[in-house]
Structure 1
Amino acid sequence: MKVYRPEIDGLRAISVIAVILYHAEFTLAGHTLLEGGYIGVDVFFVISGFLISQILLTEIEATGRIDYLKFYTRRARRILPALFAVVFATMPFAYYLLLPSELLDYANSIGSSLLFGSNIYFYFTTAQYGEPDTLLKPFLHTWSLSVEEQFYIGFPLLLLITRRYLKSKFLPCVLLMATLSFVFCVLTVRYDQQQAFYSPFTRAWELLAGTLLAYYEVRRGRARPRPLLAAAGLVLVVGSLILFRKDTVHPGLLTVIPVIGTCLVLAFASHKDVAGRLLASRPAALTGIVSYSLYLWHYPVFAFARLTSLDFNNGDKVLAVAATALVAVVSFVAIEKPIRYTRRNRAFWIYLSSSVVTITAAVVSAVTMAGFPQRLDQVYPPVAQTNEGRLESTFQSLNSNIRADKSVIFIIGDSYARNWSVALNNYVDADRYEVVAISYLNCKVEIKDDIVKAPSSDSRYDQYCIPFEKYINDKSLLSRTKAIFLASHRPFEYEANPFRFELLSWMKSHSDDAKIFIFGNYFQLDRLHSCLGLMFQTKSDASACLRLATYPPTNQPLAQLPFFPSDLAFNYVDIIKLHCDYDKEKCLTSSGGVPFMTDWNHLTAEFLTTLIGDILEKRTADLQSSGLLNFLVLPHARQSDRTASSQPNAGPTSFASP
């Protein structure tokens, strides 16, 4: 007979509270609290492996078989009703708050979750877990549910195979699989932390740790309670939550600590000892009982709260936690508990099937309609979107016809290189110079033996890294290079790509004494918000983004910034000062219906073209001393050339249309 153990619910309570606080990111004196809260998921994995294995092993010991229909029905009752409730509740918010690309991602994440594969989906589509961008994905947390669901599919099959074909070999098989999973995890995390985080193969050992404990208890009975070991286990779990950091290699060798701690608590805790009494206390046990609903609701509540709050401060986070607790309790009482324990099987299956059909229809509609882009028409006209997309696409063709009889201007940079190259190319003196535009976006750049190596960190970025390595090592291009333009995210502050100034020095050493120009950034938002998202939510133009911009600080000496290259001769082009002298009332926010940025920091190509033209036209005298006008032409001269090229018998122009 199954005995209820409230201390397990208490352990669940610690885990879910840790995860919620981790995702809330409370701060105190500039420090984020409970950075190791993600360990709560590992504790959940061990508990799930223990309980599910205990159920199945007990059944197979008693009956010699597993009633798969009964097992998966129980799992469906446990998991799906509450999950569907969250999906239905978030759909209106998603439609009215998420941009088309975000809504498409939201729909795909729901679809992958229904297919028990959201961990796989997020592995291929999402940045590193815990990064700011991932906090805005309402269903990112379902990756762990998918890992558990994959275990629910795989473990019964393992039981069946070992029972039928490998009699008495169950324990060696589990030990072997857990060992292989652990080794694979430790090796994988070294070269692909993302895969190690999301993969069921790197997480299986945590679930199987619970399986081994369950096997022991089913075969030999529960171990005698040992207060010291239970307390030690609780210390290991809580200590990991407190001491682990975001940069702790995880999952990996150190993950053994909370896994062992969880096993010690499960094996030796009792409501008669100190650790057991703490875990079995009524508040802890009740929180553990509602832990699944709390886990399901907290991430979408936080995601939509962040989307609608311009400053998600500690006060907002407290409200979000309170809202999570409220809706989780209501969901548990009104949906999860009644459906889980109802005897009305027909009503359950009707609810389940109708929910699946409705959600599938909504997902297919969102995917088919590409996130319903017409919702943006009011703030970002379709014609403007089309023009901007056309402009941005020209980056890949800028180097298609490099002539050998002209001097060269290199435009290099990270993700900024694309639109800066497109815009600057419009003003380069094409009679004298050829433009070579390259990006080292997600390239692992290294200069060795006078050769630049730039393999991509992911095959998706080969389109940038392969041409980058090709052109940067072309000594014939470098030898006739007269100017190098760097377009980089916060060039003197950005921690990624620290090689950029070494690269500039190397290029200059191979050039015809090229001048180096580093372009400053325009106004930017906090990373959690996109300009287009703010425009969409507030139904306003991009001036709202400019008003709320948090970067750059107005009084920030460049030489004091961490990556300022004091040994490099360069000219800094402060575009905000040149354009509007940091007076937001005078600064442009759009061009031709295109906002100055659509995300939180990248300027659009259309806007950049207008901005650079404005600076060239109005601040000619200021630019003379820097030498920039030796390489660029003024807008009126550019327009004259374009007009001349349109006359009969006129030669072709080399300027791209803005």
Structure 2
Amino acid sequence: MKVYRPEIDGLRAISVIAVILYHAEFTIAGHTLLQGGYIGVDVFFVISGFLISQILLTEIEATGRVDFLKFYTRRARRILPALFAVVFATMPFAYYLLLPSELLDYANSIGSSLLFGSNIYFYFTAAQYGEPDTLLKPFLHTWSLSVEEQFYIGFPLLLLITRRYLKSRFLPCVLLMAALSFVFCVLTVRYDQQQAFYSPLTRAWELLAGTLLAYYEVRRGRARPRPLLAAVGLVLVLGSLILFRKDTVHPGLFTVIPVIGTCLVLAFASHKHAVGRLLASRPAALTGIVSYSLYLWHYPVFAFARLTSLDFDNGDKLVAVAATAVIAVVSFVVIEKPIRYTRRNRAFWISLGTSVATIMAAVVSAITMAGFPHRLDQVYPSIARTNEDRLESTFLGLNNSIQAGKPVIFIIGDSYARNWSVALKNYIDTDRYEVVALSYLNCMAEIKDDSVKAPSRASIYDKYCIPFEKYINDKSLLSRTKAIFLASHRPFEYTVNPFRFELLSWMKSHSDDAKIFVFGNYFQLDRSHTCLGLMFRTKSDASTCMRLASYPAANQPVEQMPFFPSGLAFNYIDIIKLHCGYDKRGCLTSSGGVPFMTDWGHLTAEFLITLLGDILEKRADDLRGSGLLDFLVLPQAMQAGRTASSQPNGGLTSFASPSP
């Protein structure tokens, strides 16, 4: 007979509180609390593996079979009603607060969650867990539910196969699978941290650690409580939560620490001793009982709270945590608990089927209608969106007809290079120069043996990395290169792609003494908001973004920044200084109905064309000394849609390489 162990619910309480605090990101004196709170999910995995394996192993030992219908009915009662409640409750908020692309992602995440595959969906959509933009995805946290659901599907099959075809070899099989999963995890995290995070293959060893403990208890009975070992286990878990950081390689070797700690607590804690009494205390046990509801509700509550708050400070976070607790308790009492223990199977399956059909209809509708883009018309007219989409789509075709023999201008950079390339080519003298536009977005570029290798971090980036590697190694292009334009996010301080200036030096060494131009950024938002999102939710134009935007390191000379290339001769084009002298009142915020940016920092192509035209027309004298006008043509007329004028404040700086 199964005996309730309140100390396990206490361990669940620690895990869910840690995860909630991690996602809340409380800050004190500039420091984020509990950066290792993500370990709470790993603790959940071990507990789930232990409890599910214990149920199935006990059943198969007693009856020689697994009642799949009974097992999956219990799982459905446990998981789906509360999950469906969250889906239905968030739909209105999603419709009124999420942009079309965000609503499309929301719909896809719900659909993949119902199909037990949201971890796979989020991996292939490149959602880097823990990054600021992922905190706005209401259903990102369902990745862990999908991993557990995949375990619920795979483990009973493993159990039956080993019992039927591999007599008495269940333990060696589990040990082998856990070992292979762990090795695969450690190897994978080195080259693809996203895959290691989301993949069930790299997480299986955590669940199977619980399985091994359950196997021991079913076969030999529960181990005698050992207060010291239970205390060590709790210290390992709490220590991981406190000491792990966002940059800790995870999951990986260090993840063994909380996994072992969880196993020690499960194996040796008892409510008769100190650790067990602490975990089995009424507040801890009750929190653990509602932990599933807490986990389900906290992420969408936080996501929508962030979306509606311009400054999600500690006070807002406390309100969000309190709201999560209240909603979770109500959800548990009204939905989760009654449905979980009801005996009305027919009514349960009818309501479940109706819910699935309704949700899938809403998901298909949102996907078919592309997130209902008509909702944007008030702040971003459809004709302007269509024009911007057309311009941005031209980037991948810019290199389609490169002529031999003509001098070359390279435009390179990260994600910023895409729209900058479209805009710059609009003013480059293409009668005299051939333009090669490349983005190394998520390419792992390395210069080795006088060539550049640039494999992509994920297959979705091959469209950038393959042509980047092809053209950057074309010595015939490099030899006739006259200019290299760099368009990068915060070029002198951005820690990603630190190879950019080494790459410029290497290109210059193979060129016809090419001139290098580094373009500065425009005003940006912090990554907790997007400009179009602010416009949509406040029903205002892009000026609201400009009011909240700032210029990174505006008061710090570029030569004092960490990635300033002191050994490289180049010209820095400070576009804000050239355009409006850092006075927001005189800075453009839109062009032809297109806002200056739709996300948090990438300038739109239409806006860049207007901005560059404005600078070229008004500041030609300032630019002439840099040599930039040797490669560009001045616009013949002012572009329509300008909303402000510029002021003469300089904005171009030349940096020479040191004398030999």
Aligned length: 639
Q: 1:268 maps to which residue? A: 268
CA distance in 2, matches of 1:16, 1:455: 38
CA distance in 1, matches of 2:147, 2:172: 23
1:101 is paired with a residue whose SS is helix
Cα deviation for residue 405 of structure 1 reads 4.6
CA contact (8 A) 2:614 2:638 kept: no
Q: 2:283 maps to which residue? A: 283
Q: Which amino acid aligns with 2:607?
A: F
Q: Which amino acid aligns with 2:139?
A: F
Cα deviation for residue 376 of structure 1 reads 1.1
Q: Alignment RMSD, CA only?
A: 1.6
CA distance in 2, matches of 1:183, 1:404: 50
Q: 2:599 maps to which residue? A: 599
Q: 1:393 aligned to 2:388?
A: no
**Post-superposition CA distance 1:33-56 (Å, at most 9, x none):** 111111111111111111111112
1:635 is paired with a residue whose SS is coil
1:636 is paired with a residue whose SS is coil
CA distance in 2, matches of 1:34, 1:210: 25
Q: Which amino acid aligns with 2:331?
A: S
**Post-superposition CA distance 1:578-611 (Å, at most 9, x none):** 1111111111111111111111111111100000
Q: 1:647 maps to which residue? A: none
Cα deviation for residue 263 of structure 1 reads 1.0
**Post-superposition CA distance 1:399-434 (Å, at most 9, x none):** 233334533222111111111111111112233322
Q: 1:245 maps to which residue? A: 245
Q: Where do 1:225-624 residues align within 5 Å?
A: 225-624=225-624
1:370 is paired with a residue whose SS is coil
Q: 2:129 maps to which residue? A: 129
Q: 1:212 aligned to 2:173?
A: no
Cα deviation for residue 563 of structure 1 reads 0.7
CA distance in 2, matches of 1:447, 1:66: 57
1:228 is paired with a residue whose SS is helix
Q: Which amino acid aligns with 1:439?
A: S
CA contact (8 A) 2:613 2:638 kept: no
1:61 and 1:479, CA in 2 relative to 1: closer, same or farther beyond 3 A? closer
Q: Which amino acid aligns with 2:45?
A: F
* TM-score under structure 1 length normalisation: 0.94
CA distance in 2, matches of 1:488, 1:347: 58
* Range that drifts further, 618-627 or 134-143: 618-627
Q: Which amino acid aligns with 1:232?
A: V
* Range that drifts further, 604-613 or 389-398: 389-398
1:236 and 1:403, CA in 2 relative to 1: closer, same or farther beyond 3 A? same
* Range that drifts further, 576-585 or 341-350: 341-350
CA distance in 2, matches of 1:214, 1:425: 64
CA distance in 1, matches of 2:402, 2:355: 58
Q: Where do 1:116-265 residues align within 5 Å?
A: 116-265=116-265
CA contact (8 A) 1:41 1:144 kept: yes
Q: 2:46 maps to which residue? A: 46
* Range that drifts further, 530-539 or 503-512: 503-512
CA contact (8 A) 2:78 2:336 kept: yes
CA distance in 2, matches of 1:64, 1:483: 75
CA distance in 2, matches of 1:395, 1:358: 40
1:218 and 1:578, CA in 2 relative to 1: closer, same or farther beyond 3 A? same
1:9 is paired with a residue whose SS is helix
Cα deviation for residue 346 of structure 1 reads 2.6
1:599 is paired with a residue whose SS is coil
CA contact (8 A) 1:126 1:134 kept: no
CA contact (8 A) 2:192 2:457 kept: no
CA contact (8 A) 1:440 1:464 kept: yes
**Post-superposition CA distance 1:200-228 (Å, at most 9, x none):** 12211111111111122122221111111
* Range that drifts further, 573-582 or 460-469: 460-469
Q: 2:642 maps to which residue? A: none
Cα deviation for residue 500 of structure 1 reads 1.2
Cα deviation for residue 125 of structure 1 reads 1.0
CA distance in 2, matches of 1:387, 1:619: 27
* TM-score under structure 2 length normalisation: 0.94
Q: Which amino acid aligns with 1:624?
A: R
Gaps of 5+ in 2: 640-660
CA distance in 2, matches of 1:94, 1:319: 20
Cα deviation for residue 396 of structure 1 reads 2.3
1:638 and 1:382, CA in 2 relative to 1: closer, same or farther beyond 3 A? closer
1:356 and 1:631, CA in 2 relative to 1: closer, same or farther beyond 3 A? same
CA contact (8 A) 1:485 1:517 kept: yes
1:486 is paired with a residue whose SS is strand
1:349 and 1:563, CA in 2 relative to 1: closer, same or farther beyond 3 A? same
Cα deviation for residue 510 of structure 1 reads 2.4
Q: 1:16 aligned to 2:16?
A: yes
Q: 1:91 maps to which residue? A: 91
Q: Report sequence identity in percent.
A: 88
Cα deviation for residue 92 of structure 1 reads 0.6
Cα deviation for residue 559 of structure 1 reads 1.3
Q: Which amino acid aligns with 2:443?
A: C
CA contact (8 A) 1:427 1:638 kept: no
Gaps of 5+ in 1: 640-658
